[in-house]
Amino acid sequence: MSDFERFPSDRDEAPGYLSRYNERRREQAVQSAAALADPAGPVSANERSRAAHSSAAAAQTDSSVAPYVRTALAKAAERALREATVEDAPPGTNAAYAAVTVTPREIVPPPAFRSRLAGTVDVRLIRHGETQGYSSDGGLTPLGRWQAHRKGQDLARGIAAGSRVKFVHAPTARAGETANALFEGVQQAMARYGIDATLDEPAADPWFRNFQVWCDGVAQDPTQAFNRYASVLEGYERSKTGDRPGWIVEMDRFWSTQAAGGDPITIWLSQPLQYFEPAALVVRRFWTGITAALAGPEKPDRLFVATHSGPIRAVAAAAVGHDPGEPYNIEDVRIRVYADLQHAIVTYRGRGVEIEIPTTTVPPWCA
């Protein structure tokens, strides 16, 4: 009497180690048989499927084989049949795509869509690295410079030989230092990987400046306006006389949210502020800067823009139809701009949307 007959079990799943062992044994047997039949021919998915089904059929009639082993062999035969079906499928069919889309992130676009992407330019709107503070136009911390340098090394992996890469940044200290660190990181990685490409030196571009605040009659970056705001506010708090200007009221609301650990960009995106540059106009300004950078005689294959979280977030929100949240330091919004400079794909945190670039037709209030 066998051990199975003495100790019956209704378990229908084989242990993991036994399933892997049996699968290796079956694979070796199939490869050995195929090598004897045709030493020069590879083992196809159809041959593996036939061998797996033969093993499963033989196990069903063998009383000495435990039920979980028979179940494991049947499942292996089903997997082999699926592989054979995919192998026989014509290129471009759903079965062929299913062979590579084994995880949700591995998306295979249809051939017609891939041909459209062939002439696109890869644009990255990259938030600056960790900064020393937001009460003035400060530079990056050592960690912030390392973040930007490391980001540049990662971006270099996607640079093709013979291509041209352009670096631009908002006219602030933290954005400028980020662009320089990105540039150095890309240079270092290209030397390591042996990539021969043209890199344009980082340059400030006013199209990509942060949103502006009408601060006491002057348009300034929110951090640049902080000192003026703090000094004027202190004067009103000391004297307690007169009405505060409207820009002081809005700046106080903005910076109080920042000091309390809240999200002041949400206020800027969602409320009709009178002394802050509107988010919709910032989005149009950024698109104007992108198309201008790609329309020149020395058109880059990649455009890396070091800028600020508010405009980046506004561009993403305008594309996807909702506020997708604050980008982290060095996080980016990726844009694939078509050759006609009228359409693009905006991708942020795994979601991509194809849009019409909002600079081809301008409403009267944007003129």
Domain map (residue ranges) of the chain? 3-98, 111-211+278-366, 213-270
What is the rounded distance in angstroms from the CA atom of residue 90 to the CA atom of residue 311?
A: 45
Nearest CA to 178 out of 125, 123, 142, 129 is that of 129
Q: What's the rounded mean pLDDT across residues 4-27? A: 60
Question: Are 16 and 73 in contact, with CB atoms under 8 Å apart?
Answer: no
Question: Are 320 and 331 in contact, with CB atoms under 8 Å apart?
Answer: no
What is the rounded distance in angstroms from the CA atom of residue 272 to the CA atom of residue 315?
A: 17
pTM, two decimal places:
0.68
Mean pLDDT of the chain: 80
What are the residues whose beta carbons fall under 8 Å from the beta carbon of 355, sequence distance 6 or more?
319, 343, 344, 345, 346
Q: Any idea which architecture 111-211+278-366 has in CATH?
A: 3-Layer(aba) Sandwich (3.40)
Helix axes 67-88, 16-37, angle to 10 degrees: 50
| Cβ neighbour number for residue 117 with a 10 Å cutoff | 12
Using pLDDT thresholds of 50, 70 and 90, give the confidence band for residue 83. low
Using pLDDT thresholds of 50, 70 and 90, give the confidence band for residue 301. very high
Q: What's the rounded mean pLDDT across residues 2-17? A: 52
pLDDT > 90? residue 96: no
